[in-house]
Amino acid sequence: MANTCAWFINLSDDEGTAQAAARQLRPYGLPVKGQRWPQGLSWLAAAQEAAAADAAVIVLIGSAQRFADPGLRRDLALFRLMLHSRAGRPLNGFTLLSGEPPSATGRKTELSVLDDWEPLSGNWPAKLVARAHAPIAPAWPVQLGLHAHERLGVWLETHPHAGGTTDGALVGVSGHGAKIDFHAVGPKGGLPAATDNQYEIKGLQFTAAGTAFEAWGLRNPITPDERYYVRLEGDPDLIALGTLPDGELQDVTLIRLG
């Protein structure tokens, strides 16, 4: 962990808050690196840059109103999943936000990839250093990862039962016209070179919690050291993760990207 750093993401043009936070952290011996959040395919470029810097913990700086933007949160969720996959370990996120967040009226209640990003308060530099060396794994009931390549596309890496074996897997996507166009089973941590797809379903449509999904699934045995990979077209708002033990849709876990 000698070369790791705290990775600051600044959402605004004002550098003052980020600079002040960096000064507070300096006596604790954890270097600060970071970026101003870029535009375009920002999450991919941001994750590649943070991974190259060996980021060990994330600090998001900006306004609460900006952090509530669904598009930004979706990008940050993809950034987080890809960075976790590149690092091979969880990275905890923290927020240093100004202003009041928008009203919670009508806000979605599904699990979110960003649910456990904590606001900074009190003696936060000590907590940041502790989490950089001993991160807390996300409490999602499933395994999640992301692999993105300019040539190979964006792949979601999943296992519907964290730490267990399952007789099948299914991923559904919803929002922004997102679709799945390829799937495979292989070792965790990277895209498989080959796959033996057994009973498979493509383009299954179903509704869960009032949301329409389009899903693909395989009835392959998946061990704790294997993962189900699906290639995504578009950036979904919501993903549904479940199993296909008898070739039929079972209960699903809904997770919001954002």
| pLDDT tens column, 95-148 | 999 988 776 555 566 899 999 999 999 999 999 999 999 999 998 889 999 999
pLDDT of residue 103: 66
Angle in degrees, CA 188, 134, 43, rounded to 5: 55
Specify the higher pLDDT residue, 161 or 81.
Answer: 81
Specify the higher pLDDT residue, 196 or 40.
Answer: 196
Find the mean pLDDT for residues 4-32: 94
pLDDT of residue 41: 56
DSSP H or E stretch at residue 76: helix 70-87
Per-residue tokens: 125: 């530099």
Question: Please, which pLDDT band fits residue 248 given cuts at 50, 70 and 90?
Answer: confident
The pTM (predicted TM-score) of the whole model is 0.93
Residue 40 pLDDT greater than 70, yes or no? no
14/12 Cα distance (integer angstroms): 5
Find the mean pLDDT for residues 78-106: 88
Mean per-residue pLDDT of the chain:
91
pLDDT of residue 108: 63
Contact 230, 216 (CB under 8 A): yes
Indicate the angle between helix axes 42-52 and 70-87, nearest 10 degrees. 30
187/222 Cα distance (integer angstroms): 9
pLDDT of residue 242: 92
